[in-house]
Structure 1
Amino acid sequence: MTIEVVEGRSASDTRRILEALPDWFCDPAAIDNYVEATDDPRYESMVAISPTGPVGIALSRRHFHEAAELHLIAVDPGARRSGVGRSLVERVASVLAADGCSLLSVHTVGPSFQNEPYAHTRAFYRSVGFTPLEEHDGLDWPGPTLILVRPLQAADREEDVR
């Protein structure tokens, strides 16, 4: 699948993709919050576009000059396991590293909560260079949240991900 990752915002595509992923995004209020963040200028937004249209979204937020958070990444079910998520992460990392950011973090459901879809999510994050840092209960939801981190290096600045 040919994918181009570009800076852009599309609240309607964010909603469409999240609603198509009920194993991860089943809370309507959470979906509304992510859709709202898509239009919030405090978040950088990347969109993965295939020949048929947008198939992925990534939102990141810079907390400090040196550190940012991958706030959201979601890929349309029909495009999963085709490199879209990896392309989004690499593009986010590249843009952040080029601007002097040295650390990217992400939060997800922790491993002490038995859930197969989130086990796949954690495996994906590890496959794109994130390392588990710590797990906390009640951080983003009542259950366990795993914080993963990825150092951004000169190699990330040289990525030309499309």
Structure 2
Amino acid sequence: MAADLRTHHGFVAVRRTGAEEQVVGFVTWLPRVGDVNLVELTWLGVTPQFQRRGLGRRLVEAVADRCGQIGVSVMEVTTLADSVDYAPYARTRAFYRTLGFRDWRVDADFYGPGDDRLVLRKYL
């Protein structure tokens, strides 16, 4: 992840308390090689105390706004598919779906036997 943060586009959410600053969230993305109309969300993270407050939504919306400015029409994100019974990823899928991402493709056994990958897309 550290290498990605140096080479990907991104936004950081910072909480300021007086003179102190604390990173409370971030999002990174990359243009798809060979497709100037698509960006891939590569990382999204929000500290636990700031989750479920709309910060993740605002970070993804910031990427969508930037995409609009540069003429990109599709955002893509990948995660574990519905076939993988793991609660944190069920929440991840629900989060992206509420933001307008739709299931685009499932890649069987992508992460290993029985660990399918779900590709979601949002058309801007």
TM-score normalised to the size of structure 2? 0.89
Take 2:69 and 2:109, find their aligned partners in 1: how far apart are those partners? 34
Take 1:147 and 1:131, find their aligned partners in 2: how far apart are those partners? 8
Take 2:45 and 2:69, find their aligned partners in 1: how far apart are those partners? 23
Root mean square deviation of aligned Cα: 1.1
Partner residue, 1:48:
13
Identity %: 32
The alpha carbon displacement at 1:138 in A equals 3.6
Paired residue type of 2:73: S
The alpha carbon displacement at 1:137 in A equals 2.3
1:95-152 deviations in Å (ceiling 9; x for gaps): 011100000000001100001110000000011110011111243x221110000011
Partner residue, 1:118:
89
Does structure 1 residue 148 correspond to structure 2 residue 120?
yes
The alpha carbon displacement at 1:76 in A equals 0.6
Take 1:76 and 1:59, find their aligned partners in 2: how far apart are those partners? 15
Take 1:133 and 1:55, find their aligned partners in 2: how far apart are those partners? 30
Match of 2:41 among 55, 59, 70: 70
Paired residue type of 1:88: L
> Structure 2 stretches of 5 or more lacking a match?
none
- Bigger share in strand: 2
Take 1:94 and 1:150, find their aligned partners in 2: how far apart are those partners? 13
Take 2:52 and 2:97, find their aligned partners in 1: how far apart are those partners? 15
Q: What does 1:87-106 correspond to in 2, within 5 Å?
A: 87-106=58-77
